[in-house]
Amino acid sequence: MNGQSDHLDLKRSRVCVTGSGGFLGSFVVEALRARGASNLILPRRKDFDLTKEESIERLFEQSRPEVLFHLAAVVGGIGANEKNPGSFFYQNAIMGIQLIEYARRYGVQKVIVVGTICAYPKFAPVPFNEDALWDGYPEETNAPYGIAKKALLVQCQAYRQQYGMNSIYVLPVNLYGPRDNFDLESSHVIPALIRKMVEAKRVGASEVACWGDGSPTREFLYVRDCADALVLAAERFNGAEPVNLGSGEEIAIRDLVEMVAEMVGYRGNIVWDTSRPNGQPRRKLDITRAERSFGFTAKTTLRDGLQKTIAWYLDAMPEAVPA
């Protein structure tokens, strides 16, 4: 399985998905099943604490996976990263390092590791090209998380070099969509904005406060598109180099806020709290490698994805809708 033309048949494989109960993981499981993969191993944290070596060994001994998707992660927005830099670094690093090592020991045929856009240098040239990953230090508020995940790229490449392990590494841009985390203490920007705007509309609030000054730009990828990309990569890509996953759309946070407010129907004032951090100034990916390497292009525009996400939130959280 060393050549680019060697395609993995997921239907015939025992496939383990860590983080399968999470946001991205639930969509990856759906995408795998849609491809005909039926022999799925879906460990849950209550049964397997992946920060503990004995749990990982027990998982591999019991299930003997042939393909491993490592999606499990401890994640959050700027606020959560600021509060928990140590635990975010430790848990993400230790999970990935031990999982990849046990995949080697148990002869897993292919490992798909999901990295993070937070691994890029704070001032990486835009659009971010994979070759720029090592050209500087990540943005400070999420550097511990980004560096922990970037260490797994080094491990994948080192294990490929020394042991011939077929491990691939992909870097999704900011994800959003149905089933996202809408907890304001730990959520990312899109679910936080949707919840804030819906609640402000419901109670008739005159204003909504947003962090920073609205100037940073971001690129977002609809979660179902990302899940499809991961399955495509598993089937078709066997290279050592990291691969960006994105949509190609860049939007200023200020414009995103106005778009969500308009779509939700909130007509109050937006107030910018400039005492709060902006985060990385710009994020937009060079996505040519994913298209060239395994034929991935995103199908969902930001507006369409936001409509689907807002509709899901209003349906899933009926208390958010005025009676």
Confirm whether 143 is domain-assigned: yes
Confidence of residue 249 (pLDDT cuts 50, 70, 90): very high
The reported pLDDT for the residue numbered 230 is 98
Cα gap 233→230, rounded to integer Å: 5
Tokens of 268: 């109050």
The reported pLDDT for the residue numbered 84 is 82
Which distant-in-sequence residues (6+ apart) come within 8 Å of 242 by Cβ? 115, 130, 133, 153, 169, 170, 171
Tokens of 151: 């260490």
Q: Which residue has the higher pLDDT, 84 or 243?
A: 243
Tokens 């460990």, residue?
43
Q: pLDDT > 90: what percent of the chain? A: 84
Confirm whether 79 is domain-assigned: yes
Cα gap 255→275, rounded to integer Å: 20
The reported pLDDT for the residue numbered 276 is 87
Given a cut of 50, whether residue 312 has pLDDT beyond it is yes
145 is catalytic: yes
Of the listed ranges 10-24, 26-40, 77-91, 190-204, the least confidently predicted one is: 77-91
Given a cut of 80, whether residue 309 has pLDDT beyond it is yes
**Active-site residue, from 120, 145, 222, 266:** 145
Give the CATH number for residue 38.
3.40.50.720
Q: DSSP string covering 121-160, please?
A: BTTPPSSBPGGGTTSSPBPGGGHHHHHHHHHHHHHHHHHH
Is the pTM higher than 0.75? The answer reads yes
Confirm whether 89 is domain-assigned: yes
Residue 106 belongs to what domain range?
A: 10-176+223-250+282-299
- 299 Rama sector, left if φ>0, alpha if ψ -120 to 50, beta otherwise: alpha
What residue type is assigned to position 76 of the chain?
G
- What average pLDDT does the segment 121-141 reach? 94
Given a cut of 50, whether residue 193 has pLDDT beyond it is yes
Confirm whether 172 is domain-assigned: yes
Q: What is the mean pLDDT of the chain?
A: 93
Tokens 């848990």, residue?
91
Confidence of residue 5 (pLDDT cuts 50, 70, 90): very low
Cα gap 117→125, rounded to integer Å: 13
Specify burial of residue 318 (Cβ count, 10 A radius: 0-12, 13-18, 19+). exposed
- What average pLDDT does the segment 13-26 reach? 97
Of the listed ranges 77-86, 88-97, 101-110, 202-211, the least confidently predicted one is: 77-86
Which distant-in-sequence residues (6+ apart) come within 8 Å of 178 by Cβ? 223, 308, 309, 312, 313, 316
Q: pLDDT > 70: what percent of the chain? A: 95
- What average pLDDT does the segment 44-61 reach? 96
Number of domains in the chain: 1
Of the listed ranges 6-10, 63-67, 97-101, 198-202, the least confidently predicted one is: 6-10
Query: Cα 322 vs. chain centroid, distance in angstroms?
Result: 32
Confirm whether 91 is domain-assigned: yes
Cα gap 98→121, rounded to integer Å: 26
Given a cut of 80, whether residue 211 has pLDDT beyond it is yes
Confirm whether 2 is domain-assigned: no
Q: Count Cβ neighbours within 10 Å for each residue of 47-86 and write b for 16 or more, e otherwise.
A: ebebbeeebbeebbeebebbbbbbbbbbbbbbbbbeebbe
Tokens of 105: 């020991």
Q: Are 12 and 240 in contact, with CB atoms under 8 Å apart?
A: no
Confirm whether 108 is domain-assigned: yes
Q: What are phi and psi of 63, to 5 degrees?
A: -105, -25
Confirm whether 322 is domain-assigned: no
pLDDT tens per residue, range 142-168: 899 999 999 999 999 999 999 999 999
Peptide bond into 127 cis (omega under 30): yes
Given a cut of 60, whether residue 1 has pLDDT beyond it is no
Confidence of residue 280 (pLDDT cuts 50, 70, 90): confident
